[in-house]
Amino acid sequence: MLGYNEGELLGQNWIDSVVPPEEQDELKDYFYHILSDNIEQDDHYTNYVTTKSGEPRLIDWRNRLLRNEAGLPIGILSSGWTSPISERWKTPWPKKKYGCETRS
């Protein structure tokens, strides 16, 4: 889907590697809120990623907070789907705001 070989992104920060720079802070803030348990389970989020060749893709994500046996957050499971951007998707997607400042 993104043109990378198996393992090329393994061990890399996903947001820093494939999310456009202008969306990185907001997406990091969003994931911080998921891990802080401030967002409902099975939350929905849409953002752009960039393929290895530089082509933008709009991904529609579903995100779920994963917990250990003690109920503590241990990660996030995200699944998403995309198609090449059409004229319909070139309009900026409305972003959710979570009422806090972006972390630095």
For 40-57, write each residue's pLDDT tens digit: 666 788 899 999 999 998
What is the distance of C-alpha 2 from the center of its chain?
Answer: 14
Residue 90 pLDDT: 55
- Comparing 27 with 99, which gets the higher pLDDT? 27
Q: What is the mean pLDDT of the chain?
A: 80
- Comparing 59 with 42, which gets the higher pLDDT? 59
Alpha helices in 1-104 (DSSP H): 14-18, 21-35
| Domains of the chain, first to last | 34-85 (2.10.70)
Residue 104 pLDDT: 42
Collapsing DSSP to helix, strand or coil, 79 comes out as strand
Quick one: what percent of the chain has pLDDT higher than 70? Answer: 76
CA angle 90, 96, 100 (to 5 degrees): 135
